[in-house]
Amino acid sequence: MPMSQRPVVLIVDDNAENLTVLGELLQPLYQVRAANSGERALRLMRLDPLPSLVLLDVMMPGLDGYAVLERLRAEPRSRSVPVIFVTAMGATEDEERGLLHGAVDYITKPVRPTVLLARVAAHVELGRARERLADQNHDLELEIERRMAENQRLRDIGIHALARLAETRDNETGNHLRRTREYVRQLGTQLIGKPCFARRLDVKTVDLMARSAPLHDIGKVGIPDRILCKPGKLDADEWLIMKTHAAIGAEAIELAERDAGPGGGVDFLHYAKDIARSHHERWDGGGYPQGLVGEAIPLAARLMALADVFDALISPRVYKKAWSYEAARAYIVEQRGSHFDPDVVEAFVASFDEFCAIARRLADPGHPPSAAAVAER
C-alpha cells in the first residue's frame, strides 16, 4: 500500500528509546507520527490526516496520559479517535482507570511485537468499519431526506390539485390559495413566541397548518353552479346552500383521514379538516356552520379566518373594488374580539408589513391587490 494511503498512527512517549522501538515496529504498515510529550501530541492531532489510532504512554512529565486523553475526548475532531495506553504500569486498577477514561485497550511494557501489531491492526480496522458505517448512515440519512422531500412535494401537489379543483368552479380566487397559505404561515410564526400558544404551536405545526390552508374551500365542489357562479347577491335560500361548503369540505377530508389510517398523515388531515369546517366561524359565535365561540374554534381555523378575510378585502371582485391594505387593516382591527381572535389580530398587526409584501409578491396577474384603492364600505 502506498505510504500516502496507509493509516496514520500517533505514538506518544517521553522516552526516545520507546519511540524508536514502537516506530520501527509500525512503520512497515503505517504512517507514524511521534510525540515526546503530551503537549506535542495535542499539536500533532491538529494535523491532517487525522490519526486512525493513538498509542499513548501514561507516565509522562507535564500532561500525563490521562490528561491527554481527557483533552482528546473534549475536542469534536479527536473525540472518536481510538486510544491505546502503552505503559509499564501493570496493576489492575491502572488498567481499569485507563479504560474508564475512554481508552479502547491497554498494553503493558515491555511490549511484545506480535501482540502490539495485532491489537493495533484490530483497532485500526474497527475504526475503519465505524467510518464506513458512519458514511453509510450519512448516505441513508440523505436518501431518507430526499424521499421525505419527494413525498412532501407529492403531497403539496395533491393538495393544490384538490384546491384547484374547487378554484375552477369559483373564478374569483386566482392566487388566493397561495397568498392565504403564506398569511397563515406568517400569523402562526408570529404566535409561536407567545406563552399562551407555547404548547400548541411550533415550527412543524405552523408548517402543517399553512400547507393545509389551500383546502379551506374544497367543499365548494359540492355547491351548484347556479349558486357558486351567480354574479349577483345570493338570496337567503341560496346563502344557506352556499354555507354548506364548510361542512362538505370537512366531511370529505374526514373520509380521507379515515382512509389514510394510522400513520397516513393524520396530523396534516386534522388541520385541513379544522380549517375547512371552521374558517367561517366568528370569535363572538356569530359564524357558521356550528356557531362556535372563542377558543372552541380550532386555532388553525382562527388563523385562516383572518387570512381569508384580509385577502378577500384587498382583492377585486365583480361586486366590489379592491380595498387598500390600510383600509383592510383598519377593518380587521375593528373586528378584534368580534369576528377575529384578539391574539390573532395582534399577530396580524405586528406582521402587517409582511402581509403586504406577500400580497404584492403573489398578486394575481393583471389584477394586483391595490395598496391605493379606496374601500367602498
Nearest Cα to Cα of residue 38 among 19, 56, 18: 56
**207 Cβ partners below 8 Å, 6+ apart?**
185
Q: Are the CB atoms for 168 and 201 separated by under 8 Å? A: no
pLDDT tens digits, one per residue of 43-65: 999 998 999 999 998 888 888 88
Nearest Cα to Cα of residue 283 among 307, 308, 264, 302: 302
**90 Cβ partners below 8 Å, 6+ apart?**
108
Domains of the chain: 3-138 (3.40.50.2300), 168-361 (1.10.3210.10)
pLDDT tens digits, one per residue of 221-269: 888 888 887 877 888 999 999 999 999 989 988 887 777 666 555 677 8
Q: Are the CB atoms for 184 and 304 separated by under 8 Å? A: yes
Longest CA span, the chain: 103
C-alpha cell at 35: 510525540
Bridge partners for 83 per DSSP: 54
Confidence band of 134 (pLDDT split at 50, 70, 90): confident
Q: Round the CA-based radius of gyration of the chain to a whole number and report it.
A: 34
pLDDT tens digits, one per residue of 152-189: 666 666 666 566 666 655 655 558 888 999 999 999 99
Find cell 399553512 and name the residue.
Answer: 210
Q: Are the CB atoms for 111 and 22 separated by under 8 Å? A: yes
Nearest Cα to Cα of residue 105 among 116, 91, 89: 116
Phi–psi pair at 13, nearest 5 degrees: -160, 140
3-state secondary structure of 221: helix
Alpha-carbon distances, residue 71 vs 15, 37, 104 (angstroms) = 21, 14, 16
Alpha-carbon distances, residue 161 vs 59, 158, 215, 294 (angstroms) = 72, 5, 10, 32
With vertex at residue 64, the alpha carbon angle to CA 118 and CA 72, rounded to the nearest 5 degrees, is: 70
Q: pLDDT: is 308 or 317 the higher one?
A: 308
Percent of the chain predicted with pLDDT > 90? 46
Q: What is d(CA 246, CA 220) in angstroms, rounded to the nearest whole number? A: 8
The model's pTM: 0.60
Mean pLDDT (the chain) is 85
